[in-house]
Every structure is written in C-alpha cells, then in structure tokens.
Chain A
Amino acid sequence: MSVLWWLVTLVKVGVIFGAVLGVVAYMTLAERKVSGHIQLRLGPNRVGPFGLLQPIADGLKLMFKEDIIPDHVDKVIYLLAPAISTVAAFAAYAVIPLGPPTDFFGLLPEPVPLQIADVNIGILYIFALSSMGVYGIVLAGWSSNNKYSLLGGLRSSAQMISYELSLGMSVVGVLMMSGSLSLTRVVEDQAGLWYVFLQPLGFIIFIIAAFAETNRLPFDLPEAEPELVAGYHTEYSSMKFSLFFMSEYAAMFTISAMAVTLYFGGWQGLPGLGTLGIPPVLWFVGKVAFFLFLFLWVRWTLPRFRYDQLMNLGWKVFLPLSLLNVLLTGLGLVLLR
C-alpha cells in the first residue's frame, strides 16, 4: 500500500465516478433521442449541436427549481431516501473490471488493474448493494405521506424481492462454471468462450430480471405514470427528484456492466478472434453501450405488464426456470468433467 497505490486508487475512483455521472447525464439525452427516433420524431436538438448540451440544461433547470418538502412527511427519512438510492446505485462500480491490468503505456512502474477493488466476494457485493437500492424507493414511498407514493413503494418492495431471487439464482450458473465470486476471475475465465453461449437460459432470466430490478419498462410498476402519477417520487422535486432519476440510470448502467461482465466476457474480445486490435476498455464500453441501448429499445417498444402478471411471471416462471438452470449447469459440469 504505497503512496502510488493510494494515488492510483484515488484517480481510479475519481475517473470512474466522473465517467458514470457522464454516462447517466447522457443516458437521459439518449433516452429522449432514441424514443424520438422510434416514434419518428427527432428528439431534442435545440441545445447545442444535435442537442448534445441538453443534459446540462436539464441539470441546471432542476438545480434551480424550488425544493419543496411537503407537510406531514417524515422529514429525515424523506431526505435520506434519495441519498440511499444514489449511493447504492453508484457504489457498485467499485468491483467491476473495466479492462486487463495496464501500465498506461509505460507511464506507471507496474501494471495496475482497471478496477477499484478486486474483492473476492465481488458478485455478492453488487447484490447486497442492489438490495439496498430497494430501501431508497421503499422509504421514499413511505415517508412521502401520499397514497400513490405508498403504493409505488409497496409495489417496488414486492417486485424487487421477487426478481432478486431469480437474478441471484441465474447468476449461480455462472458462479458454478467459474468457481469464483471475484468478477476479475469470471472475466478471465471467459477468454475462450463467453458464458452466454454456455448459459443461454441463465442469461435470458438474468436480463429479464434485470429489467424488473431496475424498474424499467415493461416492469416499471412502481412508478407507472398513468396509474400512480409517478409512484414513489410523486412528492419529490428539484435535485432530490433528479437523484432518483440519476440512480435509476446508474442502476441500468450497473446491471448492463454486470451482464457484460458475467455473460459477455467483460473486456475480452470476440471469442476465437481476440480483441482485433481494439483496446479492451473499448470492448467493454461498446458492449455496455449495446445493453444500455437494449434498455431504451425495450422501453419504447413494449407495453407495461399488469401487476399480477408480473408477480406470476417472477414466481411461477422465472424462479423455477432459474433453479432448472442451476440443475442443468451442475449436471453438465459433472458429466463433462
């Protein structure tokens, strides 16, 4: 733990945090652009070239909005909820490997891993954090003293518990193949073949549960505008509202990075072809970008599920299927060994 180690770690934390903030800001623009083009519109194009400065304008606008704290709210919890949401969404990047160890073209005396911390329980860490994210939403719904918010909070707690089970069980397949909870190891194991080819069922369950876990359409019941007037964040305004927004996009980014790391080889290049001369970090960014686009694409294409359909799907379809996936993986491992 030399001075250099501290310095490098601090720089990594800063760079990754900044990058995530930037991605979150531009995801809002991307969402509006993609939705525009899907609906044969242009999307925002007035602020800056191609609307590229729109996120900054939005951010400024939100910052200068009046910050309202409604009467009869549980003030401490009301203020705490957006903070919990944001912290839980942002802290997950600490363990995601962005690329192989590098010495930055000889700039540093020894190669440093492109990952803030390679903890040996990486996957559990991310799951623990994402289960903390539920609290942000639940507490926001409860403390707002508003029946729509409360309903949103109730829905999200039930939904996230249900789908976290399938999410966790689908990842077990990957863990059984790699034999490690460390995300670095998982990525290194995929040098030959991406796990998505070995775990197609697990991946499908994972990505669908991911949509539910991040409260995105077709599973955005907790906020469902037409029925719940925005659900848990009805009573929030100004930056507190935008914190919820940011944490939603950050959670999307986390889950996309997770999907890439667990199933699509992380920073590895194409199976059999290698990196094709493109830096591994760009491979990672490209794959994550694809998944982020998938999130937007699905949102503007599919209608919303009904709540009972959502619960039935979670408990009666995905949970048994993910258990089946674990069983099949175990069987395969035993038979092929």
Chain B
Amino acid sequence: MEQFFFFLFAAGAVISALLVISRRNVMHCALFLVLTFFFVAAIFVLLKAEFLAAVQVLVYAGAIMVLFTFVIFLVHIPRTEKIRQTFRQKNLALALGLLLGLEVAYILYGTMAAPASLPAAAPVGAVGNTESFGVALFTRFLFPFEVVSVLLLAAMIGAIVLAKKEIDR
C-alpha cells in the first residue's frame, strides 16, 4: 500500500517537475511547480512528517508560488513564448545533468547493497508530531532558528529596498 502511494506520488512529482522545466508558458511552469510541491508534500506525509507537509503547502504553494504568479502577472509578455527557450549550452547542460545523475546513481548503488530499508522499529511515534517538532525547534535548534529569523528580516529589507527604488525614480 505504502509502496503504491510512494510510486504514485514520486511519478507525479518527477513528471510535473519535468514539465516545469520544459513548458514554454511561464504560468504553466509555475502551476506545474505548485503541483510538484503538492506531490512532495504527499511524500512528506508518507514519511510521517505531517507538520512539514502542511508547512510545505502553506509556505511554498500558498505563499511563494502566489508571489511568483503575482510577478508573472506583472512581467508576462506572451510573445516571449515564441522565441527559443533555452541557452546554446543546452546540450552541455543535459550532458552534465546526466553525469550528475550517473554519479548519484553510483553512490546510491553503493548504499543499496547495505540494508537500506527504513528501520521499522525506529522511534517514529514522536517524529512528525507538531509538539515534539516545536520542542526541538525551540531548544536544540534555537540558535539556527534565530539565525533564520535574522535572514528573513534581511531578505524582507532587501526586497523592500529593491522595490522602493522603483517608486523614487
């Protein structure tokens, strides 16, 4: 059962990810990316990380991608769909991607020999529970948490400064 759902979601994620990088229309790319995020969220649920799945949908699909669509609204030029969509380095990039894939496959092949299945007896009861997640976040990972909040503040200021310059001009 779990394998069936895994393959369903994994296939969905990979196919929609491929469509993200191959569609001509930017809006379609963005929508397929949203779809990919949903499939990834489903994978998170399979991995018993429900909180993260909800955050994934809420932040990625609900906020980041809405921002993307918002920007597409502002900058979309339909005629750009007619022109060539890829760099001249496309073939090189594909070759490099293939190389990367082979590399990862090689490394994973090494680990496959070992019993790589998830230990069924692992203490997963608490994992994925929002409460234990919060406790971990505010005790062990308090410092990284603060750093991330500073990063977000910096990003916010940066975005405001970039956008503000427009108005002054």
Contacts and interface: CB of A to CB of B under 8 A. Distances in A.
Given A142-B69, A153-B73, A135 B34 contact: yes
Nearest to A141: B73
B154 interface: no
A131 B66 contact: yes
B27 interface: yes
Nearest to B65: A135
Given A128-B62, A131-B58, A150-B73, A77 B31 contact: yes
B153 to A, nearest CB: 14
A74 interface: yes
Given A131-B61, A135-B34, A120 B50 contact: yes
A296 to B, nearest CB: 28
Interface string B57-81: 1100111001101101100000000
Interface in B2-50: 25, 27-28, 31, 34, 50
B62 A134 contact: yes
A198 interface: no
A188 B147 CA distance: 37
Interface in B85-144: 129-131
Contacts of A124: 51, 54-55, 58
A201 interface: no
Contacts of B31: 77, 139
B62 A132 contact: yes
Given A77-B31, A132-B61, A134-B62, A158 B70 contact: yes
**Residue among B28, B62, B69 with the highest chain A CB neighbour number at 10 A:** B62
A285 interface: no
B91 to A, nearest CB: 30
B113 to A, nearest CB: 36
Interface residues of A, number: 27
A291 interface: no
Interface in A177-214: 179-181
Contact of A134 (B51, B66, B130): B66
Given A74-B27, A77-B27, A120-B129, A138 B69 contact: yes
B110 to A, nearest CB: 37
Contact of A161 (B53, B55, B63): B63
A145 B157 CA distance: 34
A119 interface: yes
Contact of A154 (B51, B53, B54, B70): B70
B62 A142 contact: no
Nearest to B55: A124
A121 interface: yes
Contacts of A142: 27, 69, 72-73
A300 B115 CA distance: 67
Contacts of B66: 131, 134-135, 138, 157, 160-161
Given A77-B31, A132-B62, A119 B57 contact: no
Contacts of A138: 66, 69-70
B54 A121 contact: yes
Contacts of B27: 74, 77, 142
Contacts of A77: 27-28, 31
Contact of B50 (A119, A150, A160): A119
A127 B56 CA distance: 12
A70 to B, nearest CB: 16
A121 B51 contact: yes
A333 to B, nearest CB: 14
18 contacts: A77-B31, A121-B50, A121-B130, A124-B58, A127-B62, A131-B61, A131-B62, A131-B66, A134-B66, A135-B34, A138-B66, A139-B31, A142-B27, A142-B72, A157-B66, A157-B70, A161-B67, A164-B63
- The 7 lowest CB-CB distance pairs between A and B, nearest first, are A131-B62, A124-B54, A128-B57, A121-B54, A128-B58, A157-B70, A121-B50
Interface of B: 25, 27-28, 31, 34, 50-51, 53-55, 57-58, 61-63, 66-67, 69-70, 72-73, 129-131
Given A119-B50, A139-B69, A164-B62, 17 more contacts: A77-B27, A120-B50, A120-B129, A121-B50, A121-B54, A124-B55, A124-B58, A127-B62, A128-B54, A128-B57, A128-B62, A131-B66, A132-B62, A134-B62, A142-B27, A157-B69, A157-B70
